[in-house]
């Protein structure tokens, strides 16, 4: 299954460690999961999309790099702000 997903989504090998570079407290997996859950459910509802498909789209989008950068404030923004930023395709000013 892993190999299939790697091929399907063209995942490349690399070093992905956003925790060691964090200067502030890292959210728990429950906390970060809630952020993504709200965004994914809001997007799926707004687009009448499938939740799993929406999850894959969100996790492969630009906003994941912003949310997972614990040195910026994106993780702490309101669900509405994250939703509108995602829809715009950029961080709202």
Tell me: the pLDDT tens digits for 26-58? 888 999 999 999 999 999 999 999 999 999 999
**CB contact at 8 A, 26 and 69:** no
CA terminus-to-terminus distance, the chain: 40
Task: Tell me which residue of 18, 19, 54 sits closest to 36, measured CA to CA.
Answer: 54
Structure tokens at 35: 């952020």
Task: Tell me which residue of 42, 72, 75 sits closest to 57, measured CA to CA.
Answer: 42
Q: What is the mean pLDDT of the chain?
A: 90
Structure tokens at 79: 């669900």
- pTM of the entire predicted model: 0.78
């Amino acid at each position: 299954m892993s190999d299939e997903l790697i091929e399907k989504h063209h995942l490349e090998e690399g070093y992905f460690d956003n925790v060691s570079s964090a200067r502030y407290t890292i959210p728990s997996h429950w906390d970060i999961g809630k952020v993504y859950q709200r965004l994914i459910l809001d997007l799926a509802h707004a687009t009448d999309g499938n939740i799993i498909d929406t999850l894959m789209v969100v996790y492969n989008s630009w906003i994941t790099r912003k949310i997972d950068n614990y040195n910026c404030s994106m993780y702490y923004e309101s669900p509405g702000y994250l939703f509108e930023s995602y829809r715009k395709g950029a961080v709202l000013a």
